[in-house]
Amino acid sequence: MQADPQLTFRPLRSDDLRAISLVHQRACLIAYHFMNWSYPLSEIEPWYSSKFSEWTWTRGAFHPNEMAGFIAVRGSHIDQLFIDPTYQRCGIGTTLLVDALRSTSGRTTLNVFEANQTARTLYEKHGFRESDKWMNLDDDAMELLYVREG
């Protein structure tokens, strides 16, 4: 797979809030189809606004005129990783995940819905394994804790 020469990567900034929210919304409409996910931007943006102070490392992938995807880490926990559907299966998720793993040391964790097989395949390819499982009552879906050692 050849890298897109127009793609750039940089840390997220607070003025990326709208783009982050839009990528999140577009990706979740597809990735979370099993739970009929459908939050409006008016709810997503305030939620993300409060997340910036929690994140210790971030990276966004940008095509010339729009955000293609992003990742956010809190300590050694991958808190968010979303790729806009237009840019999925182009290696952006892998690039962001590998960069994030370089920024952490030791044990790294993340949460993923059991029914999100596409994301689980990506995480497992990079050494994550299921460590715990529970019913997320808010979303009425099984959620998994994935762990990557070292």
Per-residue pLDDT tens listing for the chain (150 residues): 445 678 999 999 999 999 999 999 999 988 888 777 788 899 999 999 999 899 999 999 999 889 999 999 999 999 999 999 999 988 999 999 999 999 988 899 999 999 999 999 999 999 999 999 999 888 888 999 999 997
pLDDT at residue number 46: 93
pLDDT at residue number 35: 76
Architecture of domain 8-148: 3-Layer(aba) Sandwich (3.40)
pLDDT at residue number 24: 95
113 to 50, 109, 134: CA distances (angstroms): 22, 14, 10
C-alpha radius of gyration, the chain, whole number: 15
How wide is the angle at C-alpha 119 spanned by C-alphas 25 and 87, nearest 5°? 55
What are the structural domain ranges in the chain?
8-148
The DSSP call for residue 113 is E
- Distance CA(85)–CA(54), nearest Å, equals 26
What pTM value is reported for the model? 0.92
pLDDT at residue number 3: 57
CB 128 within 8 A of CB 147: yes
